[in-house]
Structure 1
Amino acid sequence: MAALYEGYTLCGLVPGQNQSTSGIQGIEEERDSDHVIVTDSTRSVILYKVSDQKPLGSWTVKQGQVLTCSAVFNSQTKEYVTVSDNKVIRIWKEEDIILDKAFKATVSTDVWKVHCPRGGEPVVLFQRGAVRLLDPLLSAPQQPIEEVLTQEETIRWSTSLVAETRTVVVYATELKGDNFLYLQRLNPNSLQRYRLEGEDPGLSPLSFSASYRDKHICLLYLYPNGHVYQSVISVRGPGADEGTQALPLPRSLVLSLPLSEGLLEAASAVVLDDAHVAVVGAPHPCAGAGKDFLCIWNTNFQILQAGKEMAGKVFGQLWSYSNKLFIPHGKFLSVIPFACPKSSLASALGKLRQPKTEEPKPPASVPSWNNILHGDTARPTETIETRKTRTTRKTQSAPNLTVDQVLELIKTAPQEDVQGEVEGLLFRHDVKDLQPLLGQLASSLVSRSLADPAFYSPSTLAQLVHTKCLCHSVCPDLIPLALERKDYFLCQLCLQFFTDIPEAVICACLKAFISLPDLDAEKLSLEPDSLSFMETLISKEHGRVGMQNGFRPPSFEDLSDTNNDQQTSVQKETTKSPSQHACPMGSHKAALLNEVLQTAYSDTFLLPHLKDLSSQHVVLFLKYLQFLYLRYSQDDFPQTHSFRSPSLNQIMDWVCMLLDAHFTVLVMTPEAKEILLNLLNFVRVQVRLFSELGKIEGSLQELNKMKVKKDIGQYSIEVIELF
């Protein structure tokens, strides 16, 4: 799950006179990820070491001169390049103290910007669209520069990339309400012009962001109506002989930001990777109409994964370098570290929940993600059959309230009225865009419950979670509220349906579950599938049998020609009677722990929070994991995937993490001695198994390398010896 970490201030700002601009022209990465150069909108260029939050150097032009281009760093020559007064190119090194005494050259026409992509040469983009490499330009500064753009066409944004060892300059222009995109490829030179599709009612993009991946340039642009589009352009474009004929640029909608009212004025979207986009200046879905937010959206699933309110006015500027976001707001320039792990990482490590064989019914009036992402033909949504209380029936007969009226009702009305109105709203067919509404409903209910200890509607919150349209980032206080009210059924539902739960919240649930007395746990009403799995696991009816359909599975002795004491102890350990290795806790408590085992996490972030568990809880948890391992290892254990059950990989991963977090404490705890010895035996079994699999793999690889004889007839017998 993407995350925004605690930020810090890099420097103060001096906003423009009208307070509408931040006073910063640009921020560029310098020699490494810990150094950036900041160019203000007037006269200064400052070099900062980000981790120390202090300037290392500062250069200023004379009074009356103005920097008209943000400074860039040439990593090949260790020099800085900028432009003053539109035509004067300045180049200097870090040891130069006075900028006016450094090298400068005046060119024949106005410069728009100087770009220096990492791994490439500096390039100069002129205001009329021409592009020159810096070194050839400085050899003859007054050389004539051609005009690429038409008379009234102006550049709005530009960047440069290195694609397949070839420098590419990308810039966007506007002409009488129409928007165009230019791709200038260098060495050899070729220029291509594209026309962006119009956006009703004649809106122009607020921001652009470009990235290079898979031999294509991916362009991301944000419109004032909250629509974020992506266009993909091949690097291997047409040659220069095709001129600048404008070709239509296909686009796809990757994100539609929820806007409560009006249009965006100062906003920016920056691509972070192939699945995440950072947006500043757009409202948070659950925070009303305020637009001073920084958010990370997952474009694959159209969900908000991280959000942070920025103090003071945001100016619609955002830069991203080396997992750090640079954002001017109020009177400060802040640096906010972020993380965007790959969405398939948890699946690859076996830490995602196993899918059920039965497809759940879609919630009422809520479109599926497949329809949104893939454009499938929308089918009429099915109605969820649930028990309806008298309050619900009364609400259905009464006049329907608007969405805003229901949200106001939640703030003051009694619990019964709130429950009836919310449930009635979910089943109404006249309510459109129910998905964003669910987050507002959940946030309002949680806020009321936190402010008023006498108010709590568990059934309504559970019903909202059951729609599978909520996530932790939309309502981050929901799980802490459920833990505070000891509503473990709601916690179980959140662990099942939320895919973005932070590791700190996962450990809070684990600590609450494992501290729960068995007598109290047995009184809980939990999800039936999870209880069915534990009842099957604990049941004595699944004892070990000698024959299965006339076949006896091999024991540990059968896997080896030699039988040493160590292997014998492993076999004895794994064949103990159920009474010797009974489940150390009740089925209800175990079912709750199974939900924790199946929740996606990151080892790096989870380990520090696991250290807060007491040694008694760690030993109890390890005993339960040992019990699961032994039951899974039995040949007659029914591997049924229709139940909510953790996988063997997930069990072993949690064993490893607990040992990593508490190894020193466990070694010094007498109660943990036996279980540590047992776990050692488990590891030896796993190592031996994988060793045998490695031998088989090597043999198969040798067979694959053998050349097939060409003179083999229709029938032959071959003897292959494996060594």
Structure 2
Amino acid sequence: MAALYEGYTLCGLVPALNQSHSGIQGVEEERDSDHVVVTDSTRCVTLYKVSDQKPLSSWAVKQGQTLTCPTVYNSQTKEYVAVSDSKVIRIWKEEDILLDKTFKATVSSEVWRVHSAPGGEPVVLFQRGAVRLLDSLLSAPQQHIEEVLPQEETIRWSTYIVAESQQFVIFTTEQKGCNFLYLQRLNPNTLQRYRLEREEPGLSPLSFSASYRDKHLCLLYLYPNGRVYQSVVSLRGLGAEEAGQALPLPRSLLLVLPVGEGLLEAASALVLDEVHIAVVGVPHPSAGAGNDFLCIWNTNFQTLQAGKEMAGKIYGQIWSFSNKLFIPHGKTLSVNPYECPKSSLASALGKLRQTKSEESRAAASVPSWNNLLHGDKAQPSRAAETRKTRTTRKTQSTPSSTTDQVLELIKTAAAEEVQREVDGLISRSDVLELQPSVGQLASSLVSRSLTDPAFYTPSTLAQLVHTRSLCHSVCPGLVLLALEKKDYFLCQLCMQFFPDIPEAITCACLKAFISLPDVDAEKLSLEPDSVSFMETLTAGQRGPTGLQNGFSPTSCDEERTDPVGGGGTKEEDKEKSTPAEQICPVGLHKAVLLNEVLMTAYSDTFLLPHLKDLSSQDVVLFLQYLSYLYVKYSQDASPQMHGLRSPNQSQIMDWVGLLLDAHFLVLVMTPEAKGLLLDLHRFVKSQVRLVFELGKIEGSLEELNKMKGKKTDVGQYSIEVIELF
């Protein structure tokens, strides 16, 4: 899953007087990924070292002169190229101090942009559409520059791509509400013109972004209504047709971003890789009004994977170099590192930690791809049927209402009537037919519950979760609503059936569960299988006393010499006194809820920052419970019974490691945690001892395996002696 890491400020900004422009013309990569050149909207060019957040050099043109396009770096000659007053090309090196004393040449036509890319010679794009290689232009600066664009057609955006030793200048234009794409190939020179499909009247793209993939140009563009389109053009064998002959350019809709009630004014979408795009200036789906956000979307799965609020005004500008996003906002230019791992369905849904048997594994959240492709009717699993409430098994005689009618009813009707109609709709619908409408029904119920405190339908929401056609991305407010209403049964269901619960929500549930008084927890009605597991686990105070899974409470006392770590001191031995019996530090129902947290999917990177918000008392209590589980699992060879929902030992140890990583200093300085940390230290030593012994067994088995190959024929009666060292 994509991630945005903590950003930092590269430099301050001096926005224009009307506050509509950031004051920056462009940010371009320099010699490597740690150096960028920033061009402001007036006279100054500055070289920054990104990791040090400091300027290395700065140059400025004279008073009265203006830089009219972003400065670029020529990697072949190690020179900077800029244009002032639209016609004067300036070239200098880093050691030069005064621009007025460096090389400059005046050309015969106004320049739109100078583009440069690693491995390619800089090119100059003129405002009327002509393209020249920089060296060719400077050999005769006053040469005639043809006009490629028709009258009243102006350039809006351009870029430069070097692909397979071919150089392409790509730019878009606008003429009387129509938008065009131009592809200019150099050596040999060919030009192709395409007409973009029109959007709603009066709407033109806010931003463009291009990428090269598999010998194709992928053009991404964002409209003010939040629609993001993609057009794909083959770069093989571009014809030499006249630019006036515009070919239609098909498009496909990638995303429909949330824009609220109005239209976007300052926003940009930027291609990051094949499936991820960065969007700035678009409202966050769950943050209400406001457009001060940077988001990373996955276009394959239509999911928002990372979001970050940006302080100050957004200007709709964004640049990306070497996994860093450069964004001007307010009065700063910030650098935001990001990561976009290779996309897959598993990563989009979360990192699943559960390793359960096939019988206890939850059913898929969506019908299988084979069923969707080949039309086979999906059949709900037997496990899903056993979890459904009795209200789902109603007769077909219930008066029929369409989904739209029920959605309208949710807005105004009483809770009892809404529950009756939703139950009837669910009981009549097929699994595949129900899938698209479950999210709408759940979102409407959550929205009504948030705006009307007197309205809440817990059984209906639980029934929608039981359909397994719902996930957190479809209805992000459901778990938070359940926490607000202290509906912990609904929280438990969501954690069981939702594969994509964010780590922040998981930690919010953990806080609520661990702070819940045991007296109140025992009054809750929770999922029977999970309760049965805890009842079984706590029924016997002591399990078998033999060594199980490498650990026994008595084993450490009996052994004075550690095969790998050496013997302990007398002081340590005193700390190893075995408790008379293991008592669960939390109530049974509270333990059931904590088990759901242990079994929820998560990613270490995203979970750790949220775990740091836990108080020291909560951390100690949670670690005590994890310690209790570990000891119980070690005493019993098979504490996980088939058919009962329970965490596994790997999940328990993973959470111990997470909590220690997040709160190590706090725990070391907390007197109450001393004994707990010593117990955890014993766990680690027991695991090391177990691995050590397993290593010896592995060596013995390898020797036995080698002996099989050397085995000789023996008679009917023989005695073989095998020595193990």
Instruction: Return the offset for 1:682.
Output: 2.8
Alignment of 1:103-118 (within 5 A): 103-107=103-107, 111-117=111-117
Aligned-residue offset at 1:13: 2.5
Task: Give the alignment of 1:192-203 within 5 angstroms.
Answer: 199=197
* Pairwise CA distance, 1:124: 1.2
1:447 and 2:463 matched: no
Alignment of 1:214-363 (within 5 A): 219-222=218-221, 224=223, 228=228, 244=240, 254-257=254-257, 267-282=267-282, 284-285=284-285, 294-307=294-307, 316-321=316-321, 324-327=324-327, 335=334, 337=336, 339-340=338-339, 342=341, 352-354=353-355, 357=358
Matched with 1:171 is 170
Q: Does 2:143 correspond to 1:140?
A: no
CA drift at 1:683? 2.0
For the residue of structure 2 that corresponds to 1:277, the secondary structure is strand
How do residues 392-541 of structure 1 correspond to structure 2 at under 5 angstroms?
405=408, 408-409=411-412, 414-416=414-416, 419=419, 434=437, 437=440, 440-441=443-444, 444-445=447-448, 447-448=450-451, 452=453, 454-463=454-463, 465=465, 478-498=478-498, 501=501, 503-540=503-540
Cα distance in 2, alignment partners of residues 613 and 288 from structure 1: 27
Mean CA deviation greater in 194-203 or 578-587: 194-203
Provide the C-alpha distance between the structure 2 equivalents of 1:61 and 1:271, rounded to a whole number of angstroms.
34
SS state of the match for residue 624, structure 1? helix
CA distance in 2, matches of 1:280, 1:180: 23
Q: Aligned pair in 2 of structure 1 residues 378, 47: CA closer, same or farther (>3 Å)?
A: farther
- C-alpha distance in structure 1 between counterparts of 2:424 and 2:528, whole Å: 26
Mapped contact 1:503–1:609 kept (Cα < 8 A): yes
Q: What percent of counterpart residues are identical?
A: 58
Determine if contact 1:362/1:381 at 8 Å carries over to the other structure. no
Residue number in structure 2 paired with 1:14: 16
Aligned counterparts of 2:696 and 2:271: Cα–Cα separation in 1: 45
Please say if 1:592 is aligned against 2:564.
Answer: no
Residue of structure 1 equivalent to 2:717: none
Q: Assess if the C-alpha contact under 8 Å between 1:278 and 1:294 holds in 2.
A: yes
CA change 1:175–1:598 in 2 (3 A) is same
State how far apart, in whole Å, the 1-side matches of 2:180 and 2:24 are. Answer: 25
Q: Which residue of 2 aligns with 1:683?
A: 684
In 2: Cα distance, 1:703 partner to 1:81 partner: 72
* Root mean square deviation, CA, Å: 6.1
- Distance between the aligned counterparts of 2:297 and 2:102, measured in 1? 44
C-alpha spacing 1:507/1:76, structure 2 compared with 1 (3 Å):
farther
SS of the residue corresponding to residue 509 of structure 2 reads helix
Q: Which amino acid aligns with 1:629?
A: Y
Alignment check: 8 A CA contact 1:90 1:104 kept: yes
Find the aligned partners of 2:567 and 2:538 in 1 and give their Cα distance.
24
Number of the residue aligned with 1:560: none
Q: How does 1:61-76 map to 2 (within 5 A)?
A: 61=61, 66-74=66-74
**Distance (whole Å) between structure 2 residues aligned to residue 610 and residue 493 of structure 1:** 22
In structure 1, runs of 5+ residues without a counterpart are: 557-562, 707-711
Whole-Å Cα distance in 1 between the matches of residues 25 and 139 of structure 2?
Answer: 28
Q: Which residue is 1:637 aligned to?
A: 638
Report the CA distance between 1:476 and its aligned residue.
Answer: 6.0
Are the structure 2 counterparts of residues 477 and 150 from structure 1 closer, same or farther at C-alpha, using a change threshold of 3 Å? closer
Report the alpha carbon displacement of residue 637 of structure 1 after superposing the two structures with TM.
0.7
Q: Is the 8 A contact 1:207 1:269 kept in 2?
A: yes
Q: Is contact 2:48–2:57 with CA below 8 Å preserved after alignment?
A: yes
CA contact (8 A) 2:551 2:687 kept: no
1:419, 1:6 → 2: CA distance?
Answer: 46
What one-letter code is carried by the residue in structure 1 that aligns with 2:652? I
CA distance in 1, matches of 2:104, 2:701: 67
Change (3 A) 1:263 1:493: same
Aligned to 2:91: 91
Paired residue secondary structure (1:376): helix
User: 2:526–2:589: 8 Å Cα contact kept in structure 1?
Assistant: yes
Quickly say closer, same or farther: Cα 1:264–1:611, change in 2 above 3 A: closer
Cα drift, residue 270 of structure 1:
1.3
Q: Structure 1 pair 173/553, CA: closer, same or farther in 2 (3 Å)?
A: closer
Q: CA, structure 1 residues 75+481, in 2 after alignment: closer, same or farther (shift >3 Å)? A: farther
Cα offset, 1:221, TM superposition? 0.8
For 1:678 and 1:169, the matched residues in 2 are separated by 65
Contact residue 125 and residue 131 of structure 1 kept, 8 A: yes
What secondary structure is seen at the aligned counterpart in 2 of 1:142? Answer: coil
Counterpart of 1:318, as a letter, is: I
Matched residue of 2:278: which SS? strand
Task: Tell me if the contact between 2:89 and 2:104 (Cα under 8 Å) persists in the aligned partners.
Answer: yes
Q: 2-side partners of 1:75 and 1:699: how far apart?
A: 61
Aligned-partner SS, 2:296: strand
Structure-2 separation of matches of 1:583 and 1:180: 68
Residues 445 and 459 of structure 1: CA distance in aligned 2, closer, same or farther (over 3 Å): farther
Find the residue that maps to 1:126 and give its secondary structure.
Answer: strand
Contact conserved, 2:67 with 2:82, CA < 8 A, in 1?
yes
In 1, Cα distance between equivalents of 2:724 and 2:300: 48
Q: Secondary structure at the match of 2:521?
A: helix
Partner AA of 1:650 in structure 2: Q
Q: In 1, Cα distance between the equivalents of 2:585 and 2:591?
A: 9
Q: Residues 277, 519 of structure 1: CA spacing in aligned structure 2 closer, same or farther, 3 A cutoff?
A: same
Instruction: Give the match for residue 556 of structure 2.
Output: none
> Given that residues 401 and 425 in structure 2 are in contact (C-alpha distance below 8 angstroms), is that contact kept between their aligned partners in structure 1?
no
SS of equivalent to 1:580:
coil
SS in 1 for 2:13: strand
- Note the alpha carbon deviations across 1:605-630, whole angstroms, 9 max, x for none: 54455455455543432333233334
- CA distance in structure 1 between the partners assigned to 2:591 and 2:193 by the alignment: 60
Structure 2 unaligned segments of length 5 or more: list them.
553-558, 715-722
Query: TM-score, normalised on structure 2?
Result: 0.70
Provide the residue aligned with 1:376 in structure 2.
373
Query: In structure 2, how many angstroms separate the alpha carbons of the residues matched to 1:86 and 1:531?
Result: 75
Residue 223 of structure 1: how far off its partner (Å):
5.1
Q: Deviations over 1:616-664 (max 9, x none)?
A: 5434323332333344446741656765433433221221233334445
Deviation at 1:526, TM superposition (A): 2.1
Distance 1:332 1:664 in 2: 37
Does the 8 Å CA contact 1:598/1:646 hold for their aligned counterparts?
yes
Contact 2:14 2:23 (C-alpha < 8 Å) held by counterparts: no
Aligned to 1:658: 659
Moved more, 92-101 or 644-653: 92-101
Indicate if the aligned counterparts of 2:219 and 2:230 stay in contact, CA closer than 8 A.
Answer: yes
In the TM superposition, residue 96 of structure 1 has moved relative to its aligned partner by 5.4
Deviation at 1:28, TM superposition (A): 2.7
Corresponding letter in the other structure for 1:269: A
How far, CA to CA, are the matches of 1:618 and 1:583 in structure 2?
16
Q: Deviations over 1:552-606 (max 9, x none)?
A: 99999xxxxxx87447999x9xxx9998335443432222112222334454554
Letter in 2 for 1:105: A
The C-alpha deviation readout for 1:669-690, integer Å capped at 9, x for no partner, is: 6665554444333323433454
Deviation at 1:123, TM superposition (A): 1.6
Q: 527-536 or 377-386, which moves further after superposition? A: 377-386
What's the secondary structure of 2:600's corresponding residue?
Answer: coil
- Alpha-carbon contact 1:184-1:190 (below 8 Å) kept: yes
Cα distance in 2, alignment partners of residues 699 and 162 from structure 1: 59
Alpha carbons of structure 1 residues 555 and 362: separation in structure 2 relative to 1, 3 Å: closer
2:349–2:499 Cα contact (<8 Å) kept: no
Amino acid at match of 1:376: L
